[in-house]
Amino acid sequence: MMVAGEFASSTLEQIKEACAGGTMTVYSVARPITPEKAVDRSGLLATFTFQTPAFGDSKDGLETPLFVESTVAGHHVGTPGFVRLRKADGSTIADLSAGPGPREVKFTEISVTGGAPVRVAKFFFQAEGGWPERPDYYDTRPRSGFPLPKAPD
């Protein structure tokens, strides 16, 4: 989870409370470097609206998101790459990794198709950071004079 600056000192419970009445928007890959940046190179795949409260009880490290509709229709074709959580007023709370593999948000299907049902299968919050499976790559930034991250052997 990468939180917006406004929520940098918030607890997980405060972040979950901020989601009440807000949205979880699913995008294809190309997540912006910070949640404050606009989404400009990713396709809009689906949008879920949170109930109030936005989450039920946690169980075995997994969250129970409470959506107005547990299944929504996909907007376009693509593979989820990240989700953006927004408050009811539209301001950004955080970006979470999404899609297949060890991501924070997993769906019942690997990809999304326009008009087809989209449903969340698993949801958890990972401590501040990037993509769970490759922190050595996704949590670094290429800089002049420094080598690019290498894939593990």
Write the secondary structure of 8-44 as one string of H (helix), E (strand) and C (coil). Answer: CCCCHHHHHHHCCCCEEEEEECCCCCCCCCCCCCCCE
Nearest to 26 by CA among 93, 89, 106: 106
Instruction: Look at residue 32 in the predicted model and tell me its pLDDT.
Output: 85
pLDDT of residue 114: 94
Rg (CA), the chain: 15
Q: 40, 32, 42: which is closest to 4 by C-alpha?
A: 32
Q: What are the per-10-residue average pLDDT scores of the chain (153 residues)?
A: 92 96 93 88 94 95 96 96 96 93 91 96 81 54 58 66
Quote the pLDDT of residue 148: 62
